Chains A and B, each alone.
Chain A
């Protein structure tokens, strides 16, 4: 006879309801602050809808009207030291954090507000309209609101895309020895996406002080939450991951506030992450000024039912009931909120000259300069100003032959020892005597808090590292066991980390190093053998280095770690076991950004290569013996850092270019380089830019098929022979 015993999750899962006694006990200052933030955010959102209807907001304007209670109630339980980030529907989240930052003692609309409050309204509205005075100079707009001074780390247009970063903020708070916490706001639509679920697991495993705040408004655009999941009580996810979870009425700002206070206490006490599900409702459709019922996925009756529980009215009712404010004061506050928004609008908008009555336009002076379009894709490298930059020709220390992998481990050990900001993370980096290749040998024992062996979830741990980088106090070094895993982490690498600086205005640093192992030729097959350089080269924001010698590895890693941009450090397994010249005792120099190395002087053909193919090219030239090739080791591969001086000088000598890489042609690196070369040096070319690449398919497991799929010495020999005969 089988027996059954009911199991209970290790973490609590509760609903919390605010009682009349709670309303009576709430401090007057809390309720007035709550009311005034709600009124002002409501006015802001009404103004945005009006501008959107007039065609003055470019792109979607996701209204938070109806949902303000969750954000306001929860933010009032935080301080400016705490971080938040949010979703595409994030005006209320951002404004609640920003207003609480500039009015720490509670916003008060019964009398005139401070310039700081006006500035928040104006800059936020300007950003929503895509204007220069916005926090990100209009680049971010409605969906990318960031003001890091206020702890508002950025709202996000990828559903769930900001969630892993919040775990990174939380890690940084804890590592810095503070009790600050991070809150990430997202909707019911994001509860089912991998980024979110992976981060639940990661945060719980590492007991990070992060709150997952789910604004469950019942609909992902028009798909009802009940259609999208078998457990529509979304806070039920928490206990499954070991996360303490609350379910609360999101239309009741006090209930949300009380739940958040409990969650914050839990996190500040070091008990790990929390999850709050606030049931709420957006009064309008996904975006724009029409109700959802106009699109047929819900009824007017349902909308009327929720509107009767408007959070603004609920808080106003209790404030009046308790005699904290008079009706007249509430009316004054409501009118002031409206007037503040009209004033902000008038700064940005003017009547259309010669237009019909009521027609308006953006004041021309408010637009950003179109020349600003690419400014700040990457930083200006001023952070390297005081670095000890040298190259092989100016290095005066002792050099000796050493194994490449030993240089990898040595320079990282040196940085871990000298710079407490540096941390390493990745799968198995803390075990196996230094990860799968020995690159982090001995780190775990020395720096257990900065060596993070991750669960298998590239997207979440990459995003977590991205959050640490955005926070800025620490410098994460992420290791990918295989380069192909970049596709698994693609959202975080390309949509988030690569774009963050530019998207949020061009000024914010994103200091992150990604060490990515290229394992072509090891028999790991179609999904573990790619060279990611070509893909990363298409992604603005990233810098790419490809060290080929121990000396270069040390200098390039040091530069990468000082750089305020995300830097991909490519490492080829073929090089790990190679031996080359490296520094004996100086592990502190930096190599210059954007300088290639000429590995062989020649006059007949310029061969451009990187990573393991540099050695194969040199071997090929020697084998052939008949072609006087100049061999350039690029070292820096991204569009901003390619050494055109060296390449150009060589091409003007040889008139012929061969770009050599190992991997498949589809994702090849050389395609963009060839394009750029033919335009820059057309009149210097004696034949088309030539290429050596692998085939179209990914390398297979079968040894002979694998060998046929990628390029090696003999492919270079063959192509050089053809070039010589051409």
Chain B
């Protein structure tokens, strides 16, 4: 039975994605689980697996096309199925014309067939709400829709505007979100004035570059940052790591220990395990921490989940897997959302200390420097010690300085008595 393959909802709030490759030639049969299409979102490159065996009858979009989520991208058939007139089939399946972004009326059977999961992915908002949000510099992503089907309507924007006015310290900012359709198409190649002597090269933004710029720009504009600094002696930590790796299990990195130590600190200071929302501060029961991974395409921050119940070896395995897949562009979208804290470690580069920008909607980011020998004072005596400088950047909206200080003290204590990491 011929059926449509639609652009999957791979990214929360994303209205469209780019079809980056067709791994299968048209006409070739495939098995369940085979990759049918490769889709690039703002954050990841995702293979779309086949749910059942079949054959690719026709592709409906080209490589590089930006396609609305839920829109048909290919016509699939059963193996050995003969489709005399694909156009007729497409017309019957409703894919002949341009896809209707609004979709059919709620409750009509066509909705679930044509756009699985669409209502859960697309954020509906009224034209008036979009305009008001834009004028107020509010991001639709931060708003909760109270209209029919979760539509963001005027009153939602007005409430958010009032809430922000009460907050008072938020600067007036102007940006828009959820309007990716208005972003100009990315040119296919670098643009220069003069091929002979351009003097510079414009590298067009990738979607990931745009996403990084947008998210971190928003973070700086919206989240009032403050930082607390700390220095830990890490001889015990390094020794513990060496001992752990001596057992021949999964290889444990310093960063794994730091991440798990941070998770332990979160468990001790739950007021840090929060995020800021328009109408509330959300406190999490479990501890999820993201790790910053640099890739060829840019920074990604996959999330380690449920750290409060994990052993160090499980963390090591999970983080190695995430790093590996991040660098090959094979992360799933759901691995990129959540968490209240990111750990970013420039230690491998020898960086002594640095300050990082919070990855919204998280409330903090821990910047970890290199472990290095320094002159330290201990019991009034000068000696050489191995230390690590850490800087915790914190969103002041949900977290006050005393809480951050309390967290930093707990974190440093855990690092310096690292067996507690294993507890």
Residues of A within 8 A of B (CB): 655, 682-687, 726
B148 near A683: Cβ-Cβ < 8 Å: no
Which residues from A are CB-within-8-Å of B148? 687, 726
Which residues from B are CB-within-8-Å of A684? 127-128, 131
Q: List 18 A-B contacts (CB under 8 A).
A: A655-B126, A655-B128, A682-B127, A683-B127, A683-B128, A683-B130, A683-B131, A684-B127, A684-B128, A684-B131, A686-B126, A686-B128, A686-B129, A686-B147, A687-B126, A687-B151, A687-B153, A726-B147
Q: B156's closest neighbor in chain A, by CB?
A: A686
Which residues from A are CB-within-8-Å of B129? 686
Which residues from A are CB-within-8-Å of B151? 687
A642 to B98, CA, bound (A): 33
Q: B153's closest neighbor in chain A, by CB?
A: A686
Secondary structure type dominating chain A contacts: loop
A683 to B134, CA, bound (A): 11
Which residues from B are CB-within-8-Å of A686? 126-129, 147, 153-154
A590 to B14, CA, bound (A): 57
Q: A651's closest neighbor in chain B, by CB?
A: B128
Q: A687's closest neighbor in chain B, by CB?
A: B126
A684 to B128, CA, bound (A): 5
Residues of B within 8 A of A (CB): 126-131, 147-148, 151, 153-154
Which residues from A are CB-within-8-Å of B153? 686-687, 726
A683 to B135, CA, bound (A): 12
A687 near B131: Cβ-Cβ < 8 Å: no
Given contact pairs A686-B127, A686-B153, a sample of 12 additional A-B residue pairs in the complex whose CB atoms are under 8 Å apart: A655-B128, A655-B154, A682-B127, A683-B130, A684-B128, A684-B131, A685-B126, A685-B127, A686-B126, A687-B126, A687-B153, A726-B147
Shortest Cβ distance from B179 into chain A, in angstroms?
A: 13
A8 to B148, CA, bound (A): 77
Shortest Cβ distance from A627 into chain B, in angstroms?
A: 14
Q: A678's closest neighbor in chain B, by CB?
A: B127
CB-CB nearest 6 A-B residue pairs: A686-B128, A686-B126, A686-B154, A683-B131, A655-B128, A682-B127
Q: A684's closest neighbor in chain B, by CB?
A: B128
Shortest Cβ distance from B328 into chain A, in angstroms?
A: 43
Shortest Cβ distance from B150 into chain A, in angstroms?
A: 12
A266 to B147, CA, bound (A): 77
Which residues from B are CB-within-8-Å of A685? 126-128
A282 to B328, CA, bound (A): 84
Shortest Cβ distance from B134 into chain A, in angstroms?
A: 10
Q: B130's closest neighbor in chain A, by CB?
A: A683
Which residues from B are CB-within-8-Å of A687? 126, 147-148, 151, 153
Which residues from A are CB-within-8-Å of B127? 682-686
A627 to B130, CA, bound (A): 24
A686 to B128, CA, bound (A): 5
Shortest Cβ distance from A190 into chain B, in angstroms?
A: 44
A684 to B129, CA, bound (A): 8
Q: Which of A683, A686, A687 has the most CB of B within 10 A?
A: A686
Q: B129's closest neighbor in chain A, by CB?
A: A686
A592 to B147, CA, bound (A): 40
Which residues from A are CB-within-8-Å of B130? 683
Which residues from B are CB-within-8-Å of A683? 127-128, 130-131
A682 to B102, CA, bound (A): 14
Q: B152's closest neighbor in chain A, by CB?
A: A686
A683 to B179, CA, bound (A): 14
Shortest Cβ distance from A718 into chain B, in angstroms?
A: 16
A569 to B154, CA, bound (A): 39
A102 to B55, CA, bound (A): 79
Shortest Cβ distance from B39 into chain A, in angstroms?
A: 30
Shortest Cβ distance from B277 into chain A, in angstroms?
A: 23
A644 to B126, CA, bound (A): 22
A682 to B147, CA, bound (A): 17
Shortest Cβ distance from A647 into chain B, in angstroms?
A: 16
Q: A688's closest neighbor in chain B, by CB?
A: B126
A684 to B132, CA, bound (A): 9
Q: A682's closest neighbor in chain B, by CB?
A: B127
Which residues from A are CB-within-8-Å of B126? 655, 685-687
Shortest Cβ distance from A378 into chain B, in angstroms?
A: 32
Which residues from B are CB-within-8-Å of A682? 127
Which residues from A are CB-within-8-Å of B128? 655, 683-686
A682 to B130, CA, bound (A): 11
A686 to B125, CA, bound (A): 8
A241 to B153, CA, bound (A): 68
Shortest Cβ distance from B182 into chain A, in angstroms?
A: 13
A684 to B126, CA, bound (A): 9
Q: Which of B126, B130, B131 has the most CB of A within 10 A?
A: B126
A726 to B153, CA, bound (A): 9
Q: B155's closest neighbor in chain A, by CB?
A: A686
Shortest Cβ distance from B145 into chain A, in angstroms?
A: 11
Which residues from B are CB-within-8-Å of A655? 126, 128, 154
A385 to B126, CA, bound (A): 44
Which residues from A are CB-within-8-Å of B131? 683-684
Which residues from A are CB-within-8-Å of B147? 686-687, 726
A726 to B131, CA, bound (A): 19
A408 to B129, CA, bound (A): 46
A685 to B128, CA, bound (A): 5
Q: Which of B130, B131, B151 has the most CB of A within 10 A?
A: B131
Shortest Cβ distance from B416 into chain A, in angstroms?
A: 57
Q: B131's closest neighbor in chain A, by CB?
A: A683
Shortest Cβ distance from A101 into chain B, in angstroms?
A: 56
